[in-house]
Amino acid sequence: MTEMHYECEYQGKWLAGVDEVGRGPLAGPVVAAAVILDVSRPIAGLADSKKLSEKKRERLFDEIIEKATAWSIARASVEEIDRINILHASMLAMKRAVESLGPVPEYVLVDGNRCPELSMPSDSVIKGDSRVACISAASILAKVSRDREMIELDGKFPGYGLAKHKGYPTKAHLEALKQLGVNNLYRRSFRPVSKLLSLNS
C-alpha cells in the first residue's frame, strides 16, 4: 500500500504512525515514537530516518514537534530488554508511545511486520518509514531522541565511543567493551555482551 492509499482510506480519522529504533545496539534503550500529523500543516522531506543526514533529521525533528497534532516518545529500558527480549521490549515501547498520545488515535499504522497490542485498530506496514508520512515522522523522532540520549551517555561513560556508534556493535565498540568492561548500559542478554561476561566470570 502506498502513503496516498492510507491517507485516503483513513481521512478524517486520527491516524497515528509508530516506529522504533535501537533493536540492534548492545547498549541503551529501545526508543519508540508515535505521531499524528496535521494534514493542514504538511512537512516536506519526510523519509526513512536512516536515509537522512543528521542535520536534516534534527531540522525535521523540530518541525514535526511544532506542526504535528500530537506526538509522543517512549522507551523500554535495558533491564526490560534483558527480561522480556528485544522484540517484546520494542512492542512495549511502541505501545507506550501510542498510549501517551492525546488525542487518542482512531487507527494506528506500525512500521514493520507486526503490531503491539493496542486498544484501537492497527495495521503493520513493511518499509512504512519510507512509504507513510506519519510513520516517517515517528521514525525521525525516535532516531533523533535515541541518538541524543546516547551522546549524553557518552559524557557519563567515556571511552566506549557511544556518541559515535550509538551502541551498535562496531569493531571499535567491541574492542572498547573488552578493554573497559560491561557496565549497566549494556544488554546482558545480547550475545557479544553475554559472551564477554562469561569469559570474565
Domain that holds residue 8: 3-145
Cα 13 to Cα 144: distance, rounded to the nearest angstrom: 27
- The answer to whether residue 151 sits within a structural domain is no
Query: What pLDDT is recorded for position 12?
Result: 66
Q: What is the b/e burial string over 10-20, where b = at least 16 CB atoms within 10 angstroms of the residue's CB?
A: beeebbbbbbb
Predicted confidence (pLDDT) per residue in 47-68, tens digit: 888 899 999 999 999 999 999 9
How many CB atoms within 10 Å of residue 7?
Answer: 15
Determine which helix (DSSP H) or strand (DSSP E) holds 111, and give its type and residue range.
strand 107-111
- The answer to whether residue 157 sits within a structural domain is no
**Domains in the chain, number:** 1
| 9 band by pLDDT with thresholds 50, 70 and 90 | low
Q: What is the b/e burial string over 186-201, where b = at least 16 CB atoms within 10 angstroms of the residue's CB?
A: bbeebebbeebeeeee
- The answer to whether residue 72 sits within a structural domain is yes
Q: What is the mean pLDDT of the chain?
A: 93
Query: What pLDDT is recorded for position 2?
Result: 47
Residues 6+ apart with CB under 8 A from 84: 92
Cα 37 to Cα 14: distance, rounded to the nearest angstrom: 9
Cα 45 to Cα 137: distance, rounded to the nearest angstrom: 10
- Three-state DSSP state, 168: coil
| 1 band by pLDDT with thresholds 50, 70 and 90 | very low
CB 71 within 8 A of CB 64: yes
- The answer to whether residue 80 sits within a structural domain is yes
Decide the pairing of beta strands 15-21 and 30-36.
antiparallel
- The answer to whether residue 164 sits within a structural domain is no
Q: Is the pLDDT of residue 119 over 70?
A: yes
- The answer to whether residue 109 sits within a structural domain is yes
CB 193 within 8 A of CB 177: yes
Query: What pLDDT is recorded for position 156?
Result: 95
- The answer to whether residue 66 sits within a structural domain is yes
Residues 6+ apart with CB under 8 A from 115: 108, 122, 123, 124
Query: What pLDDT is recorded for position 7?
Result: 63
Determine which helix (DSSP H) or strand (DSSP E) holds 105, and give its type and residue range.
none
Predicted confidence (pLDDT) per residue in 134-180, tens digit: 999 999 999 999 999 999 999 999 999 999 999 999 999 999 999 99
Report the CATH number that the domain containing residue 135 is assigned in CATH. 3.30.420.10
Query: What pLDDT is recorded for position 190?
Result: 97
Decide the pairing of beta strands 122-125 and 107-111.
parallel
Q: Which residue has the higher pLDDT, 75 or 47?
A: 75
- The answer to whether residue 125 sits within a structural domain is yes
